[in-house]
Amino acid sequence: MGRVWIVLFRFIIEVNSKGLQWVIDVTIAYPNARPMDIQTWIFGYRDPTVTHVHYRTYPIQDVPVESEALADWLYQRFVEKEKLLAHFYKTGAFPPLEGQKELVSRNMTLDNVWLFFVQTFAFASGYMWYSILHHIYCWFF
């Protein structure tokens, strides 16, 4: 893992140490290891797909702040992610957590129509802000 990410993560923890209570580790798996790309989101040319999300929460006080310890902790999260994804792509499901006999799961289906409207709104609002800021810029310069 790059040193920049470790420094950035450490900075976020130190700056938000009073308000930050949890670190959420999210692992996302797609059917057939085929994620939805940006063209699919914009044009909706692929059937709706089920996206599998596995997350774990860690209390902020359990996350080390020192650089070397933080690097080791982050590395272990990525090792866990690789094992989770290997299990998922072999069996089609994430493994249950320690102490659980069965995985608690909830499917999240991404609908193309919904994605199209979300992307349309995002582009329209981006263009609106560009126009407003451009107009303000032209007033001053």
Global pTM reads 0.62
Strands 108-110 and 22-29: unpaired
- pLDDT of 42 higher than 70: no
The tokens for 36 are 């939805």
Task: Report residue 44's pLDDT band, with 50, 70 and 90 as the boundaries.
Answer: low
The tokens for 83 are 């094992």
The three-state secondary structure class of 34 is coil
- pLDDT of 40 higher than 60: yes
Q: Supply the pLDDT for residue 127.
A: 95
Dihedral of alpha carbons 12, 4, 84, 30, sign: positive
- pLDDT of 8 higher than 90: no
How far is 22 from 13, CA to CA, in rounded Å? 10
Q: Supply the pLDDT for residue 102.
A: 65
The three-state secondary structure class of 109 is strand
Q: Supply the pLDDT for residue 2.
A: 59
Mean pLDDT of the chain: 81
- pLDDT of 1 higher than 60: no
How far is 26 from 107, CA to CA, in rounded Å? 15
- pLDDT of 70 higher than 70: yes
* Residue 30: its H or E element: none
DSSP helix, strand, coil percent of the chain (3-state; round to 5): 55, 15, 30
Decide which of 58 and 110 is more confident. 58
Decide which of 139 and 47 is more confident. 139
Amino acid at the residue 85: L
